[in-house]
């Protein structure tokens, strides 16, 4: 799954492989290069285990809605 977001002049691209539990991020912080980061970065700090276990049972559409809602709370909009 690939998601793209925008916040003012910042663009973020998330490439998520739920089966292999791989997360890749591209943003200005990574100089717009797609880099692999720890899976736990998808979740709130300190709540990673609980949130990960709750989202494991979701289908891709529900999982995507949760990620999008989280990014909206941080000021990003889905492109």
| C-alpha to C-alpha distance for 77 and 79, rounded to whole angstroms | 6
| C-alpha to C-alpha distance for 67 and 3, rounded to whole angstroms | 9
Look up the pTM and report it. Answer: 0.86
- pLDDT of res. 66: 92
- pLDDT of res. 76: 95
Long-range contact pairs involving 39-44 (C-beta distance under 8 Å, separation at least 24): 42/16, 42/67
Mean pLDDT by 10 residues, the chain (79 residues): 94 95 93 94 89 91 94 94
DSSP letter assigned to residue 18: T
Q: What's the token pair of residue 10? A: 């910042």
- pLDDT of res. 44: 86
- pLDDT of res. 59: 95
């Amino acid at each position: 799954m690939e998601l793209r977001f925008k916040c003012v002049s910042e663009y973020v691209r998330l490439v998520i492989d739920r089966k292999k539990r791989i997360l890749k991020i591209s943003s200005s912080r990574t100089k717009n290069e797609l880099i692999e980061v720890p899976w736990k970065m998808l979740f709130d700090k300190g709540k990673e285990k609980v949130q990960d276990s709750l989202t494991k049972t979701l289908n891709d559409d529900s999982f995507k809605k949760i990620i999008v809602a989280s990014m909206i709370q941080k000021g990003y909009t889905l492109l």
